[in-house]
Amino acid sequence: MTDNSIVAEGLVREFKKGPRAVDGIDLRVEPGEIYGFLGPNGAGKSTTVLMLTTLLPPTAGTARVAGFDVVREGPKVRATIGAALQEAALDALLTGRDHLKLQTMLQGLPKSERKGRAEELLARVGLTEAADRKVGGYSGGMKRRLDLALALVHRPRVLFLDEPTTGLDPQSRTALWEEVARLAGEEGVTVFLTTQYLEEADVLADRVGIIDHGRIVAEGRPVDLKAEIGRPSVHAIPRREEDRARIHALLGAYGEPFGEDGDLAVRLREGIGLADVVRGIDAEGVELDDVELRAPTLDDVFLAKTGRTLEGAAEGTDQAESAPRRR
């Protein structure tokens, strides 16, 4: 039976005269699972990927990918993994087809299979028509799709994707998500995906590990992590500043008030909804400029665990999840 898992224990990477980029990470990714590794820039996501893909030796700790030790069995690890690292590493002067031809040769595919595999992958990522164009003229989304195709040439059992959708338009991002989900769902490929987009981790990942300053601060299914944080909250913006204290008092009747920087917010008690809060405030004749129901997000999880919000999270936050409801 094939082992497509990723297991890391006490993984550390310390750079000379630098910080501990990765500071004792323990994680286990099950075969066929999509694991989202979420964290802000500089948290240690890419360094972890480099260690798991054998491109960077760990300073301490151990890791096994597909059953092979990343330090002692590097060639075996590389033979079983595919990786699309940060920034699509492509040659602007080569065509998409040139890239696939090169990759099939370097990955040791038999000559009889190379052309067929290249065509199959070009079709799968929707680049057949653009296959003979130089990559320098590709859009960001096309480059990312080609990058993914190149990572899949040798049918890897474990796939590492380092911020695969950074800078992509929503359409390209969705297309890539679909392909990643298909790979895990239909082909049983284990996917280790780093991202700084909350929505990406939320939508795509079976489980999420949140990393900050080189340490995993939270890990679990997105739904469980958010449930840990608690109930939804209501955030209100008064029309008149002089109503602020009154609104604060009113909100206290529906749950535990909280907030920062003058934000008026309440974490709702069990059984209380947005309508109850709106009706209650309305009944008191207080006017609001805006009122918003917020379900806990992974950003809230990050905030709860680190005291900070996730850098760059705004771009990836599901707008539907926090859409303001105006009175």
Pick between residue 115 and residue 134 the one whose CB is nearest to another protein: 134
Pick between residue 190 and residue 306 the one whose CB is nearest to another protein: 190
Angle (CA) 155 159 164, round 5°: 120
On the 0-12 / 13-18 / 19+ scale of CB atoms within 10 A, 159 is buried
The values of phi and psi at residue 65, to 5°, are: -120, 125
In the complex, the smallest distance separating the C-beta of residue 140 from another protein, rounded to whole angstroms, is 14
What single-letter amino acid sits at 286? V
Q: Which long-range contacts (CB under 8 A, 24 or more apart) does 20-26 make?
A: 20/214, 21/47, 21/214, 22/47, 22/48, 22/51, 22/58, 22/214, 23/213, 23/214, 23/215, 24/60, 24/61, 24/214, 24/215, 25/61, 25/211, 25/214, 25/215, 25/216, 26/216
In the complex, the smallest distance separating the C-beta of residue 106 from another protein, rounded to whole angstroms, is 4
In the complex, the smallest distance separating the C-beta of residue 185 from another protein, rounded to whole angstroms, is 24
Pick between residue 79 and residue 203 the one whose CB is nearest to another protein: 79
Pick between residue 116 and residue 185 the one whose CB is nearest to another protein: 116
Pick between residue 82 and residue 222 the one whose CB is nearest to another protein: 82
Pick between residue 92 and residue 249 the one whose CB is nearest to another protein: 92
Q: How far is CA 288 from the centre of its chain?
A: 36
In the complex, the smallest distance separating the C-beta of residue 207 from another protein, rounded to whole angstroms, is 25
What single-letter amino acid sits at 137? G
Pick between residue 92 and residue 323 the one whose CB is nearest to another protein: 92
Q: Which residues bind another protein (CB under 8 A)?
A: 53-57, 70-72, 74-75, 77-79, 81, 83, 85-87, 89-91, 93-94, 98, 101-103, 105-108, 134, 150
Pick between residue 98 and residue 276 the one whose CB is nearest to another protein: 98
In the complex, the smallest distance separating the C-beta of residue 12 from another protein, rounded to whole angstroms, is 15
Measure the CA–CA gap between 132 and 122, rounded to whole angstroms: 11
Q: Are residues 257 and 249 in contact, defined by beta-carbon separation less than 8 angstroms?
A: no
In the complex, the smallest distance separating the C-beta of residue 41 from another protein, rounded to whole angstroms, is 17
Pick between residue 106 and residue 245 the one whose CB is nearest to another protein: 106
In the complex, the smallest distance separating the C-beta of residue 73 from another protein, rounded to whole angstroms, is 8
In the complex, the smallest distance separating the C-beta of residue 138 from another protein, rounded to whole angstroms, is 14
